[in-house]
Chain A
Amino acid sequence: MNDMTPTREQREAALEGMGCKRKRVEDIRFTQGKGNYVDDVKLPGMLFGDFVRSPYAHAKVTKIDATEALKLPGVIAVLTAEDLKGVNLAWMPTLAGDVQMVLADGKVLYQNQEVAFVVAEDRYIADDAIQLVEVEYEELPVLVDPFKSMDADAPVLRPDLEGKTEGAHGPRKHHNHIFTWEVGDKDETARAFKDADVTIKEMISYHRTHPSPLETCQCIASMDKITGELTVWGTFQAPHVIRTVASLLSTIPEHKIHVIAPDIGGGFGNKVGAYPGYICAIVASIVTGVPIKWVEDRMENLSTTSFARDYHMTAEIAAKNDGTVTGLKVHVLADHGGFDACADPSKWPAGFFNIVTGSYDFPTAHLEVDGVYTNKAPGGVAYRCSFRVTEAAYCIERGMDILAQKLGMDPADLRIKNFVKPEQFPYQSALGWEYDSGDYHTAMHKAMDTIGYRELRAEQKAKQEAFRRGETREIMGIGVSFFTEIVGAGPSKNCDILGVAMFDSAEIRVHPTGSVISRMGTKSQGQGHETTWAQIIATEIGIPAADIMVEEGNTDTAPYGLGTYGSRSTPVAGAAIALASRKIRNKAQMIAAHMLEVSEYDLEWDVDGFQVKGNPQARKSMKEIAWAAYHAPPPGMEPGLEAVSYYDPPNMTFPFGAYFCVMDIDVDTGVAKTRRFYALDDCGTRINPMIIEGQVHGGLTEAFAIAMGQEIRYDEIGNVLGASFMDFFIPTAVETPHWETDHTVTPSPHHPIGAKGVGESPNVGGVPAFSNAVNDAFQFLGSTHIQMPHDAWRLWQAAKDLGAHG
């Protein structure tokens, strides 16, 4: 070997494969304002659509008069439910098995509900025309409080469901009841509580919030009346599903529908579902034969397009005096708004909330979820979490703290005592999941040592004494959170969306010169797939990531996939990418054997090519093999070098982590300052540590926002309050705490590269860490549980109620 021959390490580094902190390739265009978002797409003759919306939360719509609006120059059409009935689209099916009005059909069920769709030559004219559409309403009694939904005299929200005693998920027991979902062993759990030394019970609310991506939802529908083809550009987290739904609803054959999701400015679950704007734009384009653009504004997005949470969870834990947990009982009252439009896999009306046993070895558990209607916007999407997992994690992590308080135990010690042990994996949970892998003890001890947990407890004790002596007006809280996530939906045996199994896919084509184009069924909204997918391929087939193009979002070119949400991309599509890569490598091995005139069994893989065992000088690089695949493939072998893989995961993956938050609260103002936040994540194999760190920072920032003030509020007559960024809390760099990140690595045993997914862990684990810190701070004053959000006035109120203001 001469000096110019790169070493094995140099060749490995040149690939920028898995484990490399490769810079995000998409950022070159994003940081220069050169991204291509839906609103950047401009088509000749394009018209604009915008909505007339209801000022009332619950009202009959007695008359819609568009006469004056239609007189305004530049107004093309005003669509109402009556027009949509002509194409059978006044209502649309939801992902949760309900139906939802596209435009108000005789009544409205929440404020800002879509009533009419104005189509005009530009968006200014459209907005002017909205003011001219006269709608007559007859106000109805408003139901805002989900706890009153099933009162005998509660107003009937859904006359369309009258007499329907069977819903999509079993019997309905009241006119505002949607479903009851029951999991676990009720009798066994009752026995555990009967035999318990200690029990706790607390109603833990997770308030209504919103994913609020910076780019709102939007689309352009363009119907070509000559060819009969419909092209839809949109902010779609799952473009193929949108294509299938569009075909089923419009009866346009699926091959004549082209769905394109260009660059997307954040999704966080907000862009999974189908919204009235999409349907109206499509219908308007079918009617007019010209492209129609619909772009939501911020207030429309916050007030109508898929909220998150609104779960009211009554948690009970049974335990022995030594802290060993013996049973868990949870009842959830789930506020779904006016329609059940949750974006969950079809058979899971409460998502994967049955992960609520968390990281603890509960011998038995019972869970019941009741979904109800209220006069609020529909949604209930997974805001940067797998389906209802952040609710579950919050419920159990608050519950464990409350149990620790009752037992007089340290909350970290109580958790360690009850952790599922490493030797118990794969672990069967009492509520039906098989946890794939975990080493909770190692993670927890590493976290506690790093943050100096025992010292912090000693400092807290000293501060509490100083507070009692009147020497300080500040109280200190230490939030402990140990979460187990369930991501990677999902195995076809239990996960589908509208009947389509939740597999995912990858197609990889190696060009003759050794560069690659690859396409997946997922769709990045900022996660950095163009960077990380190339890294998996680079390691698997030995071609530098820089030579690999990743393309997503065009349903004509990408293989069918279920999209990106619920931290499913790496667990599902990541596996498909690895397996498609391995198909290519297998073929490459045969080609290399032919080139080297040896048996393929005499070859071994070496970073970026094959070499003859025991004779590393005799080798062929992937680049040489790629050329041969197109130039002189072995006799009898098809030319070319490409592969497709569809991956149906055998199980979910179960990332976990230990988070600690140290907080100081000024009892006189209620202002809470996060002094430290430490997050240890175990997401299995780490593909790009820098992207993981970025994901964790983003998710923690959202968790901080949610726990400390981010809220969609309603007044008693259903007016949505604070649906703008003046009030809705999006932290800036000034408010955001400093994040300390750490990790352990426990690969998933069933995933081809051992990766588990990470995007949503920080939101799932972060919210309980913040809330537990707040609650921990107030505990010594006699508090058991303070509801979120923990904004300043509520903490001031808590301090006042606990007598801290003298």
Chain B
Amino acid sequence: MIPGVFTYHRPSSVAEAVAILANHGDEARPLSGGHSLIPMMKLRMAAPEHLVDLGGIAALKGISEDGDTITIGAMTTQHELIGSDLLSAKLPIIRETALMIADPQIRYVGTLGGNVANGDPGNDMPALMQCLDASYVLTGPDGDRQVAARAFYEAAYFTALAPEEILTSIRIPVPAAGHGYAYEKLKRKVGDYATAAAAIVLTMNGGTVGMCSVALTNVADTPLFASEAGDILTGSTLDAATVKRAVAAAEAITQPASDGRGPAEYRTKMAGVMVERALARAAERARS
């Protein structure tokens, strides 16, 4: 449980950090909160020779609003997300989700950028970002590019992020005022990854669903945007038969691993239960 030998860098600007990464290629890894990377290094499942700590880059922190978009700096901690009045007002599902991540000590250190960039299927924020149709700003030697969260994840720990790039911020379109939302997470205990979790954002016009977005956590080797489930629900009155079809559609795209949380069959079913329960809560909130 001791990492191998590595060189530690602590740059003070994004440009400097990108230059170090570009210089060392695959041998370097950026470090944000470290809650995924450091345990893997302790187990020697990851052995980067250069660790580039982004903690000294002030520009990577903060939450701001620009028109219909909220931008969150990658090094913003879960704790800071929870404490943000802006997010509580405009994107309350972020606070709800962040409160289900690990425990307070971890949330003081763990960051949104690290959570979404690492490609760990157990992390909660990637599915939420897919649900919200967020984009990630990736900064490399040639400048910035944006990749949609829904297109970012390729496989477990494999993403669209190039070795010399840093995920610097997350841009989230602000959902309509009065939208309903819920993040339902089934876990064995505090600090555990989800057995299955579902994020839902929807709007209601009278008794009819205006839009509905569904995404799933930890039931495949990437987060899953359940577009078909969302489409089935959009325009419906959330009658039992439609909900059942949507749940089945969500379950159909899962490919969970069998592990200590349960066999694959169970985790697929739990994804469905989480969708059903998140939907009920989100609809309740949208009406109120």
Please list the residues of chain A having a beta carbon within 8 angstroms of any beta carbon in chain B: 123-124, 127-128, 131, 297-299, 668-671, 709, 713, 721-722, 726-727, 729-732, 734-735, 791-793, 796-797
Residue B141 at the chain A interface, CB threshold 8 Å: no
The verdict on A792 contacting B186 (CB below 8 Å), with A297-B1, A298-B1 known, is: yes
Q: Which of B4, B188, B190 contacts A791 (CB 8 A)?
A: B188
**Can you list 11 residue pairs at the A/B interface with Cβ under 8 Å?**
A127-B2, A297-B1, A298-B1, A669-B186, A669-B273, A713-B260, A726-B191, A731-B189, A732-B190, A792-B195, A793-B266
- Indicate which residue in B1, B189, B270 contacts A729 across the interface (CB closer than 8 Å): B189
Interface of B is mostly: loop
Q: How far is the CB of A303 from chain B (nearest CB, A)?
A: 12
Query: Which residues of the partner chain A approach B190 to less than 8 Å between Cβ atoms?
Result: 732, 734-735
Q: Known: A792-B195, A793-B266, A796-B262. Is A735-B4 also a contact (CB below 8 A)?
A: no
B1 close to A299 (CB less than 8 A):
yes
B285 contacts partner chain A, Cβ-Cβ < 8 Å: no
Contact residues in B for A131 (Cβ distance below 8 Å): 4, 44
Top 7 A-B pairs ranked by shortest CB distance? A793-B262, A127-B2, A297-B1, A727-B260, A793-B266, A732-B190, A734-B190
Assembly CA distance A732 to B189 (angstroms)? 8
User: Nearest Cβ distance between residue A292 and chain B, in whole angstroms?
Assistant: 17
Nearest chain A CB to B281 CB, angstrom units: 15
B108, chain A: closest CB distance, angstroms: 17
Q: Which residues from 214 to 250 on chain B have a C-beta closer than 8 Å to any C-beta of chain A?
A: none
Interface size, B (range): 20 to 34
Chain B residues with CB under 8 Å of A730's CB are 189
- Best-buried of A726, A731, A732, A734 by chain B (most CB within 10 Å): A726
In the complex, which residues 18-33 of chain B have their Cβ closer than 8 Å to any Cβ of chain A? none
> CA separation between A220 and B2, bound complex, in Å?
20
Docked-complex contact B189 and A734, CB < 8 angstroms: yes
Q: Which residues of A contact B193 (CB under 8 A)?
A: 726
Q: How far is the CA of A297 from the CA of B2 in the complex (A)?
A: 10
Q: Which residues of B contact A721 (CB under 8 A)?
A: 259-260
In the complex, are the beta carbons of A797 and B186 less than 8 A apart?
A: no
Whole-angstrom distance between the Cβ of B158 and the nearest chain A Cβ? 22
User: B167-204 vs A: 1/0 string, CB under 8 Å?
Assistant: 00000000000000000001011111101000000000
Instruction: List chain B residues, Cβ under 8 A from A797.
Output: 266
Let me know if A793 and B2 touch, CB within 8 A: no
In the complex, A793 Cα to B265 Cα: how many Å?
10
| Cα-based distance from A131 to B44 in the complex (angstroms) | 10
- Distance between Cα atoms of A127 and B103 in the complex (Å): 30
Residues of the B chain whose Cβ atoms lie less than 8 Å from the Cβ of A668: 273
- Residues from chain B with a CB closer than 8 A to the CB of A722 are 260
The contact string, 1 if C-beta is below 8 Å from chain A, for chain B 240-282, is 0000000000000000000111110010011001000000000
Taking CB as reference atom, which chain A residue is nearest B266? A793
A735 CA to B193 CA, complexed, in Å: 15
In the complex, the answer to whether A709 meets B188 with C-beta atoms within 8 Å is yes
Measured in the bound complex, the distance between the Cα atoms of B257 and A721 in whole Å is 14
Report the Cα distance A142→B273, complex, angstroms: 38
- Residue B5 lies at the interface, judged by CB distance under 8 Å to chain A: yes
Q: Which chain A positions have C-beta within 8 A of B44?
A: 131
Complex: how many Å from CA A127 to CA B269? 42
Measured CA separation A128–B193 after assembly (Å)? 30
Q: Is the beta-carbon distance between B189 and A793 smaller than 8 angstroms?
A: no
- Given A669-B186, A669-B270, A721-B260, A732 contacting B103 (CB threshold 8 A): yes
Are the CB atoms of B273 and A123 closer together than 8 Å?
no
Minimum Cβ distance to chain A for residue B144 (Å): 35
Closest CB of chain A to B269's CB: distance in Å?
A: 7
Bound CA span A544–B223, Å:
64
- Interface contacts beyond A669-B186, A670-B266, A793-B262: sample of 6 additional A-B pairs, CB < 8 Å, sorted by A: A131-B44, A297-B1, A731-B189, A732-B103, A793-B195, A796-B266
CA distance A668 to B191 in the complex (A): 23
Asked if A735 meets B261 with Cβ closer than 8 Å, knowing A128-B5, A299-B1, A797-B266, the reply is no
Across the interface, which residues of B come within 8 angstroms of A298, CB to CB? Answer: 1
Please tell me if the beta carbons of B191 and A124 are within 8 angstroms of each other in the complex.
no
Q: Are A793 and B263 in contact (CB under 8 A)?
A: yes
